[in-house]
Amino acid sequence: MQSPATPIPSRAEYHRSCQLITEAYGDIALAKDLIAHARRARARQQFLRVVCAWCQRPMGWERCDESAHGQVSHGICDDRLVQRFPGLHARLPIPVHLP
């Protein structure tokens, strides 16, 4: 029994595939450089996570100095503020919701 004949690529197809592989290696190297640059930029930025002290809901991030990097700060979210201090809520400015 004979094996099926495998097609032999032409010289032009072979050179084109080599060119595509070379370009792909270049794209991969560029992507690795961009990822490394993004990691270095992220490492330079120091953030502090802010959560609500009552309900532990994440409220966002704040920039901080190097000594507090990776730590958690506490605040009070709007829902708990209204529950705990109803008189204070009446004096707060009305939040503006932009489209």
Q: For residues 12 and 16, give the distance between their C-alpha atoms in angstroms, rounded to a whole number.
A: 6
Q: Are residues 38 and 62 in the same domain?
A: no
CB 12 within 8 A of CB 26: no
The verdict on residue 99 lying in a domain is no
CB 53 within 8 A of CB 74: yes
pLDDT tens digits, one per residue of 46-65: 778 889 988 989 888 887 77
Residue 81 has pLDDT above 50, yes or no: yes
Angle at CA of residue 67, ends 51 and 64, nearest 5°: 50
Over residues 2-24, mean pLDDT:
85
Q: Which domain holds residue 37?
A: 13-44
The verdict on residue 4 lying in a domain is no
User: Higher model confidence: residue 88 or residue 73?
Assistant: 73
pLDDT score, position 29: 96
Q: For residues 85 and 17, give the distance between their C-alpha atoms in angstroms, rounded to a whole number.
A: 70
Rg of the Cα trace of the chain? 29
What is the number of structural domains in the chain? 2
The verdict on residue 54 lying in a domain is yes
**Local confidence band at 99 (pLDDT 50, 70, 90 cut-offs):** very low
Over residues 26-42, mean pLDDT:
92
Q: For residues 94 and 81, give the distance between their C-alpha atoms in angstroms, rounded to a whole number.
A: 14
This prediction's pTM: 0.43
